[in-house]
Amino acid sequence: MEPGVYLMKDSSDHILYIGKSKKLRARVRSYFRDERSLSPRIALMTKQVVEIEFIVTDTEAEALALEANLVKQHQPHFNVLLKDDKKYPWLCITWSEAYPRIFITRKRNQAKPKDRFYGPYVDVGQLRRTLHLVKRIFPLRQRPQPMFKDRPCLNYDIGRCPGVCQQLVSPEDYHKTVKKVAMVFQGRSQELVEILNEQMEKAAEALNFEHAARLRDQILGLKTIGADQKVTLPDEAVSRDAIALAADDQHACIQLFQVRAGRLVGRLGFVADAQSATPGEILQRVLEEHYQSVDSVEIPIEILVQHELPESDILAEFLTEQKGRKVTIVVPHRQVKADLIEMVERNAGYELARAQRVADRNAQAMQDLAELLDLPDLPHRIEGYDISHIQGSDAVASQVVFVDGLPAKQHYRHYKIKNPTVTAGHSDDFASMAEVIGRRFRKYAAAKERGEPLRDEESSVLDRHVTATSDFPDLIMIDGGKGQLSAVVAVLREMNLLEEVRVVSLAKQREEIFLPGESLPLTTEAEQPAVQLLRRLRDEAHRFAVSFHRQQRSDRMRRSRLDEIPGLGQHRQKQLLATFRSIDYLREASPAQIATVPGIGPRLAQQIYEYFHPNQEESESSEEAASLG
């Protein structure tokens, strides 16, 4: 009976699940003794297991660390306990950059290894206010991109930014400032105040009163951040975290309160699948995932839990090793600590009730929509499409997806319109929409022509989620009137898919719903749940399309004409502009003058010259022909 990690694989040698245990053999046997005791999710997994691989470790703490690394590396589907529904925001510090950026995000999958995330925060408003105050207290980069190429902006002149865009501050000094900011979001504001107090006194003793005044202002600002903290708790000497959950048949809402020096400095939120594990196992997994992504200074010496953890000793040993100091995990039963857990559980209950209200609203809206459109089943996957452009320029389209009435942003897509007739000054929304629908469903048209099913009707919802066999929608909503709808219907009829998917359009002006072949809109009410659902879908499709259009337009305006010359990269463009100062001067230069620029050979110089004088050769040929005649 040794501790270690086990990897369960399917017939294709794909890793389904990675787990740990202090007794490997006993843990693995438990999956196959009694299927009735397993959750539906784990029961589905065990049916697919054909091979189990073991990695033995010396201690339980090593097994926990190894499991964390393997899960991050392979990301098995059945290890996903926490729902990544972009519900709660995180604060990101991009330590991978020379001058780190600090921003709020809901995406963690695009980060680099050195970047750090703090959260997830339940109160996004409080997070924004804190970040706003932090950027006023400390001199930080205020913009993701410089406003000017050769000089800093107004933020530098008023002391809000140290001149990052012109590298007026060294990366080392800027990192020192960002480390102070990180302490605020680690719940270590009081510790930072003490450090700044000490530095202020030293600066005053050295008669450096200007620096001392800046430190004084930073201290006052940090005290302002904590001034709105109303929750104070006894026992100011102890730092502790308290975690509890509230669950129904489907969802579990988890709250983690961070208490430092008697003050509640952070309230983090998580959402999990309630059927995936017992309450104790859910809390165990949340704590493991949370503390594996934080610095050691953020780990408290005491963790209060609502339920007994199945492997609390392994987690405590791992955290003790990480912190370098003993960490205890307890289920409190007496007064102060029990009252804290009760408060955390109450907040988790409020969050669960809010989630249930949203779920009930969405279920009611889908039921109403199914009745309104006479659908055979509830439309679990609805796709919305919209077109965005300015008089035909930078035309793009958006595809947004609602699953069970909620945005599923991982399925969003955007399209660049390729129709050659859609150009600046000439728009065609009907043709653009027809193009997008044709590109979206052409793989299904090919599948139907081969006789393959578009949906796996016999599999359960869980099976389809796990195997991702189909992303075929139950309903398509087009942003527009009868013209856009007719264009889409024509494309689907041509692809022989019109009978497979229902299509509707929602007109902007009167919020009218049109069906294919019907000249009049459906009779609806503005506040009807089905109409509200389609309006939310339409507004999201419009927002996504407009944001992508603005991005494309901005990229086009930033592009230089030199980008159109083959073989001329960014470095050579900089060399040319450094020599000739502007495109106009470059246009007037001869091939010989262009060839004097470092890195520009005679052949490339001739190509650059011909790019700016495309008709030069034609005119010379005409003159030569005239003289011969």
CATH code of the domain in which 70 resides: 3.40.1440.10
Domain boundary pick from 355, 389, 420: 355
- 362, part of any domain: no
- What is the C-alpha separation between 70 and 123, in angstroms, rounded? 32
Mean pLDDT of 389-399: 91
Side-chain-side CA neighbours of residue 342 (13 Å): 7
CATH number at 613 reads: 1.10.150.20
Query: Residue 283's domain spans which residues?
Result: 240-355
Mean pLDDT of 346-363: 89
β partners of residue 273:
251
Mean pLDDT of 609-617: 75
What are the Cα distances from residue 495, in Å, to 414, 441, 451, 478, 499? Answer: 21, 8, 14, 18, 10
Which span out of 8-12, 205-209, 482-486, 574-578 was modeled with the highest average pLDDT? 482-486
Count of all residues that appear for the chain in the document: 629
Which span out of 1-5, 544-548, 555-559 was modeled with the highest average pLDDT? 544-548
pLDDT at 469: 38
If one counts the domains in the chain, the total is 4
- Top pLDDT among 326 and 186 is at 326
3-state secondary structure of 324: coil
Q: Is 530 found in the same domain as 395?
A: yes
Mean pLDDT of 184-211: 83
- What is the C-alpha separation between 307 and 158, in angstroms, rounded? 52
* CB within 8 Å of 253: residues ≥ 6 apart: 245, 246, 247, 269, 270, 271, 348, 349, 351, 352, 355
Q: Is 324 found in the same domain as 339?
A: yes
Residue 221: burial class (beta carbons within 10 Å; 0-12, 13-18, 19+)? middle
Residue 342: burial class (beta carbons within 10 Å; 0-12, 13-18, 19+)? middle
Q: Is the pLDDT of residue 625 over 60?
A: no
| C-alpha R_g of the chain | 31
Q: Is 538 found in the same domain as 417?
A: yes
Mean pLDDT of 360-379: 90
Mean pLDDT of 157-174: 89
Q: Is 71 found in the same domain as 46?
A: yes
Q: Is the pLDDT of residue 609 over 90?
A: no
- What is the C-alpha separation between 399 and 512, in angstroms, rounded? 20
The order of strands in the sheet holding 15-21 is 15-21, 4-9, 51-56
Q: Is 615 found in the same domain as 582?
A: yes
What are the Cα distances from residue 603, in Å, to 594, 598, 610, 616? Answer: 10, 13, 11, 17
pLDDT in tens, 132-163: 888 888 888 888 778 787 788 888 888 888 98
Q: Pick the closest to residue 556 from 393, 445, 443, 441 (CA basis).
A: 393
Mean pLDDT of the chain: 83
Least confident of 125-139, 475-489, 536-550: 125-139
Are 542 and 386 contacting, i.e. CB atoms less than 8 angstroms apart? Answer: yes
Q: Is 500 found in the same domain as 615?
A: no
Neighbours of 426 (CB within 10 A): 10
Residue 470 pLDDT level (bands cut at 50, 70, 90): low
Residue 218 pLDDT level (bands cut at 50, 70, 90): confident
Q: Is 490 found in the same domain as 349?
A: no
Handedness of CA 541, 542, 546, 547 (dihedral sign): negative
Q: Is the pLDDT of residue 54 over 50?
A: yes
Residue at token pair 């190429």? 149
What are the Cα distances from residue 76, in Å, to 34, 47, 65, 604? Answer: 23, 16, 16, 51
- The pair of structure tokens assigned to 583 is 């495109």
Q: Is 599 found in the same domain as 498?
A: no
Domain boundary pick from 79, 111, 135: 79
- What is the C-alpha separation between 388 and 395, in angstroms, rounded? 6
Are 22 and 314 contacting, i.e. CB atoms less than 8 angstroms apart? Answer: yes
β partners of residue 279:
none
Q: Is 416 found in the same domain as 339?
A: no
- What is the C-alpha separation between 85 and 107, in angstroms, rounded? 10
pLDDT in tens, 283-324: 998 898 888 878 888 888 899 999 999 888 889 988 998 888
pLDDT at 628: 47
Mean pLDDT of 546-555: 88
Q: Strand 381-390 to strand 393-403: parallel, antiparallel, or no bridges (unpaired)?
A: antiparallel
- Percent of the chain at pLDDT > 70 equals 89
CA angle at residue 400 from 399 to 406, to 5 degrees?
Answer: 165
- 87, part of any domain: no
Domain boundary pick from 524, 555, 586: 555
pLDDT at 211: 81
pLDDT at 455: 66
Q: Is the pLDDT of residue 173 over 70?
A: yes
Question: 403 φ, ψ to 5°?
Answer: -110, 120
Mean pLDDT of 29-33: 81
pLDDT at 626: 47
Phi-psi bin for 299: left (phi > 0), alpha (psi -120 to 50), beta?
A: beta
- The pair of structure tokens assigned to 322 is 């990480």
